[in-house]
């Protein structure tokens, strides 16, 4: 079973400190090429955030949803309109409000989850995906009557300071992701998360134990959509730097689903692992194609192979480790620990002997 | 007034016939769901894979039409065999959701394989049936109905009657129904589960090929077929996951409603509402009749 902590342990604080030192000091000192920030680190943080949203509704609450990209689109276009029309709100304020707007959509399209589950729910959430994209596409107001179809995102300005360099944008994404990740961990470990998991494991049993299904499910959908909305806004403003509904099509939803499942359902660190894997693997495959075969393999074939491998991995993980890479990592750590007993174990075994 | 009525009839009939195309895809889902209570998310990918293989055989290797069709059907049997051996058998005791996700993975594998083998460009598929109004009907009934739509309707009807007879009157069909009812009990009285699964997946593969031919002749053989096949999901929700007549009726309802809404209400919203209308319709069905029109009532226990 997954370990559940109620408060932060020493280990958590050490993990947090290590992550912060790595991301704030080590990465900016050692990585100087812009490519890494603009094409890997920034999308990684944004997509990991969206994957956490997917985790909340799918991994923790056990509701099969397939509309993450739709909520991301809602967040991104809400952000664009808020900055355009309500400039007083500022970047952070707009980010929060656009998350809330996405959450409103999440509640609306999460309502069918009270009646149905599994594949039925998946179809209901597909409705949100197609509806939101269609709505943005068809009503010119959302795009400020721009006829070209692709709108340039406004520059990020926080407290009068522009954040336009890749490094600055990376820090913006990092800050937002860190805060929301900590929040998600808190929720997952507290009573909110316990309710989610109770509903996931057996909703009827949870209800008879006094967990309100209505509240729990709607809450999960709202929070999930909030995360996706914020992630979508960051994705559009820091990574794409443009807004077009096509960028948030069903393929992105599937991608986030894959990140969530391969990373490990019901884990927060799985979201980061899964997002990193899905983002980095094509880069690696392209590098192999270019350097080993010197471009002899067509790029479309490489992307097809990538698809086959993702699909194959999905099947393999479902068969051998349905809890994904996070569990795999946990297993490796566990093995390592049993091989080399820690000092406290040795001490206690010594004290038993004497 | 008469003209308006005629126009409405035309829209309606066009929608109904287009709906049979959805039914064809939905039929593949139902076959597998009926026999194994597995929701095969890769059915759309199977449609794409099979028809791309069919086109590939015909256009790249110059294999004649009929032989290429048989080869593609055989390929789908091989796909069914591999699926049974490498995906379904190891997941025999896994939960529904796990198998569902594995079939999403399978869909990705099939899409990737098809594109790696036969390329990503849109292919034209010419079945020798034009996608234009039949002159005889246009003259006598004053309705403009595409020949391809009528063919799709006929093919769907033949396949449904065939499958119905297979399920109802053959020994294999009896075995299929037994496995669908209780796989454990069926295998304990000696029904070979493996063979039944193989048969069902192969049948679903061939159905996918036929559906793919119809769709491919209309819209070109391309990746968008996978997304089109997603529309079979609302069809299934309306008709019920385990009912062959349900798949047909569901398809007809979706096809008709989608076209009528598009023509009469669409212009007020800038069109293209057929992209999401079926899903929203499915949501309303879910709220009032979650098991669909012909599905069995879902009973869950703690």
pLDDT digits (tens, 9 = 90+) for A155-164: 888 887 888 8
DSSP A176-191: HHHHHHHHHHHHHHSH
pLDDT bin (cut points 50, 70, 90) of residue A3 is very low
Closest residue in A to B266 (Cα–Cα) = A138
The C-alpha atoms of residue B87 and residue B81 are separated, in whole angstroms, by 10
User: Using a CB-CB distance cutoff of 8 angstroms, which residues of chain B are in contact with residue A123?
Assistant: 233-234, 237, 279, 282-283, 286
Q: Do A127 and B279 touch (CB under 8 A)?
A: yes
Confirm whether A77 is domain-assigned. Answer: yes
Q: Which member of A112, A134, A308 has the closest CB to residue B116?
A: A308
Residue-level pLDDT at A149: 67
Cα dihedral: B154, B159, B164, B169 (round 10): 120
User: Using a CB-CB distance cutoff of 8 angstroms, which residues of chain A are in contact with residue B228?
Assistant: none
Question: Which ipTM value was assigned to this complex?
Answer: 0.84
Q: Do A322 and B86 touch (CB under 8 A)?
A: no
For the segment A53-73, the average pLDDT, to the nearest whole number, is: 91
Confirm whether A276 is domain-assigned. Answer: no
Which site among A120, A140, A249 would you substitute to test the B interface, given the most B Cβ atoms closer than 10 Å to its Cβ?
A120
User: Using a CB-CB distance cutoff of 8 angstroms, which residues of chain A are in contact with residue B98?
Assistant: 318, 322
Confirm whether A42 is domain-assigned. Answer: yes
Q: Would you call A281 an interface residue with chain B, using a CB distance cutoff of 8 Å?
A: no
Q: Is 90 exceeded by the pLDDT of residue A22?
A: no
For residue B302, what are its two tokens?
């703690």
- pTM assigned to the model: 0.87
Low-confidence ranges of chain B (pLDDT < 50): none
The C-alpha atoms of residue A260 and residue A281 are separated, in whole angstroms, by 15
The C-alpha atoms of residue B294 and residue B34 are separated, in whole angstroms, by 13
Closest approach of chain A CAs to the CA of B137, in angstroms? 36
The C-alpha atoms of residue A311 and residue B111 are separated, in whole angstroms, by 9
Q: Do B275 and A119 touch (CB under 8 A)?
A: no
Confirm whether A329 is domain-assigned. Answer: no
Q: Is 50 exceeded by the pLDDT of residue A2?
A: no
How distant, in Å, are the alpha carbons of A14, A20, A262 from that of A333? 16, 21, 18
For residue B79, what are its two tokens?
């796909």
Closest residue in B to A207 (Cα–Cα) = B302
- Neighbour-count burial of A16, counting CB atoms closer than 10 A to its CB (0-12 exposed, 13-18 middle, 19+ buried): middle
Q: Is 90 exceeded by the pLDDT of residue A50?
A: yes
- Please answer whether residues B152 and B163 qualify as being in contact, where contact means their C-beta atoms are separated by less than 8 angstroms: no
Count structural domains, chain A. 1
Q: Do A319 and B90 touch (CB under 8 A)?
A: yes
Higher model confidence: residue A9 or residue B98? B98
User: Using a CB-CB distance cutoff of 8 angstroms, which residues of chain A are in contact with residue B108?
Assistant: 307-308, 310-311, 314
Helices A166-189 + A191-201 axis angle, to 10: 70
**B242-266: per-residue pLDDT in tens?**
788 888 888 899 989 888 888 888 7
The C-alpha atoms of residue B147 and residue B132 are separated, in whole angstroms, by 6
- Please answer whether residues A178 and A17 qualify as being in contact, where contact means their C-beta atoms are separated by less than 8 angstroms: no
Q: Do B272 and A138 touch (CB under 8 A)?
A: yes
Mean pLDDT comparison of A20-34, A112-126, B19-33, highest-scoring range: B19-33
Residues constituting chain A: 354
B182 SS3 class: coil
Q: What share of chain A is helix, strand, coil (3-state, %, to 5)?
A: 80, 5, 20
Confirm whether A98 is domain-assigned. Answer: yes
Q: Output the CA angle A332-A47-A256, nearest 5 degrees.
A: 80
The C-alpha atoms of residue A11 and residue A133 are separated, in whole angstroms, by 43
Which site among A109, A124, A213 would you substitute to test the B interface, given the most B Cβ atoms closer than 10 Å to its Cβ?
A124
pLDDT bin (cut points 50, 70, 90) of residue A44 is very high
Helices A68-85 + A213-234 axis angle, to 10: 60
Closest approach of chain B CAs to the CA of A328, in angstroms? 17
Closest approach of chain B CAs to the CA of A88, in angstroms? 32
pLDDT bin (cut points 50, 70, 90) of residue A94 is very high
A143 SS3 class: helix
Confirm whether A114 is domain-assigned. Answer: yes
Q: Is 60 exceeded by the pLDDT of residue A343?
A: no
Q: Would you call A123 an interface residue with chain B, using a CB distance cutoff of 8 Å?
A: yes
Higher model confidence: residue A297 or residue A99? A99
The HSE-up count of residue B101 (CA atoms within 13 Å, CB side) is: 33
At a CB cut-off of 8 Å and minimum separation 6, what does A73 contact? A132, A133, A136, A232, A245, A247, A248
Task: Tell me the pLDDT of chain A averaged across its residues.
Answer: 86
User: Using a CB-CB distance cutoff of 8 angstroms, which residues of chain B are in contact with residue A131?
Assistant: 276, 279-280
pLDDT bin (cut points 50, 70, 90) of residue A189 is confident
Confirm whether A310 is domain-assigned. Answer: no
Confirm whether A265 is domain-assigned. Answer: no
Range of the domain at A20: 10-249
When mean pLDDT is compared across A102-106, A345-349, B130-134, the lowest value belongs to: A345-349
Residue-level pLDDT at B185: 86
Tell me A321's DSSP state: -
For the segment A126-149, the average pLDDT, to the nearest whole number, is: 83
The C-alpha atoms of residue A310 and residue A255 are separated, in whole angstroms, by 10
Q: What phi, psi does A179 have (nearest 5°)?
A: -60, -50
Which site among A57, A131, A134 would you substitute to test the B interface, given the most B Cβ atoms closer than 10 Å to its Cβ?
A134
Residue-level pLDDT at A354: 45
């Amino acid at each position: 079973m997954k370990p559940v902590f109620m408060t932060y342990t020493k280990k958590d604080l050490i993990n947090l400190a290590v992550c912060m030192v790595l991301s704030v000091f080590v990465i900016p000192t050692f990585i100087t090429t812009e490519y890494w920030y603009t094409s890997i680190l920034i999308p990684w943080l944004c997509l990991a955030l969206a994957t956490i949203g997917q985790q909340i509704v799918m991994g923790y609450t056990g509701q099969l949803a397939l509309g993450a990209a739709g909520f991301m689109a809602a967040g991104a276009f809400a952000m664009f309109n808020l900055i355009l029309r309500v400039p007083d709100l500022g970047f952070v304020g707009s980010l929060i409000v656009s998350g809330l707007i996405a959450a409103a959509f999440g509640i609306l399209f999460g309502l069918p989850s009270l009646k149905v589950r599994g594949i039925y729910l998946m179809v209901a959430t597909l409705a949100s995906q197609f509806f939101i994209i269609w709505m943005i596409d068809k009503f010119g107001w959302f795009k400020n009557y721009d006829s070209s179809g692709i709108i340039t995102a406004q520059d990020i300005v926080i407290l009068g300071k522009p954040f336009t360099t890749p490094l600055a944008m990376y820090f913006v994404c990092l800050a937002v992701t860190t805060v929301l990740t900590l929040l998600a961990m808190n929720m997952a470990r507290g009573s909110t998360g316990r309710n989610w998991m109770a509903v996931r494991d057996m909703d009827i049993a949870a209800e008879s134990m006094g967990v309100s299904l209505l509240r729990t499910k709607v809450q999960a959908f709202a929070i999930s959509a909030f995360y996706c909305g914020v992630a979508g806004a960051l994705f559009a403003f820091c990574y794409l730097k443009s807004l077009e509904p096509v960028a948030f099509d069903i393929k992105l939803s599937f991608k986030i689903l894959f990140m969530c499942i391969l990373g490990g359902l019901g884990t927060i660190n799985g979201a980061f692992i899964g997002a990193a894997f899905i983002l980095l693997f094509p880069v690696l495959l392209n590098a192999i194609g270019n350097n080993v075969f010197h471009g002899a393999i067509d790029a479309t074939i490489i992307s097809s192979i990538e698809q086959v491998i993702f699909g194959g991995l999905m099947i393999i993980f479902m068969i051998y480790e349905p809890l994904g890479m996070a569990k795999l990592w946990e297993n490796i750590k566990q093995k390592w620990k049993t091989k080399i007993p820690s000092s406290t174990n040795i001490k206690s075994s010594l004290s038993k002997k004497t | 007034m008469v003209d308006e009525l005629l126009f409405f009839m035309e829209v309606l009939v066009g929608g109904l016939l287009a709906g049979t195309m959805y039914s064809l895809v939905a039929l593949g889902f139902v076959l597998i769901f009926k026999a194994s209570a597995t929701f095969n998310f890769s059915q759309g990918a199977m449609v794409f894979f099979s028809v791309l293989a069919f086109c590939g055989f015909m256009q790249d290797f110059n294999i004649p039409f009929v032989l290429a069709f048989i080869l593609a059907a055989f390929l789908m049997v091989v796909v069914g065999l591999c699926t049974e051996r490498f995906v379904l058998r190891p997941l025999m005791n896994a939960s529904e959701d796990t198998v569902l996700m594995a079939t999403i993975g399978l869909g990705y594998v099939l899409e990737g394989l098809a594109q790696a083998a036969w390329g990503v460009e849109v292919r034209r598929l010419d079945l020798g049936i034009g996608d234009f109004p039949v002159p005889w009907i246009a003259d006598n009934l004053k309705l403009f109905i595409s020949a391809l739509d009528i063919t799709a309707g006929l093919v769907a009807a033949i396949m449904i009657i065939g499958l119905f007879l297979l399920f109802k009157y053959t020994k294999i069909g009896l075995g299929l129904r037994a496995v669908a009812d209780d796989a454990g009990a069926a295998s304990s009285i000696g029904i070979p589960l493996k063979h039944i699964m193989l048969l069902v997946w192969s049948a679903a593969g061939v159905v996918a090929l036929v559906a793919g031919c119809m769709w491919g002749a209309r819209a070109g053989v391309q990746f968008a077929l996978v997304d089109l096949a997603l529309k079979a999901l609302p069809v299934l929700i309306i008709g019920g996951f385990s009912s062959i007549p349900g798949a047909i009726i569901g398809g007809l309802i979706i096809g008709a409603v989608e076209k009528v809404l598009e023509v009469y209400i669409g212009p007020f919203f800038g069109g293209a509402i057929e992209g999401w209308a079926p899903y929203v319709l499915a949501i309303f069905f879910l709220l009032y009749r979650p098991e669909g029109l012909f599905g069995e009532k879902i009973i869950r226990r703690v």
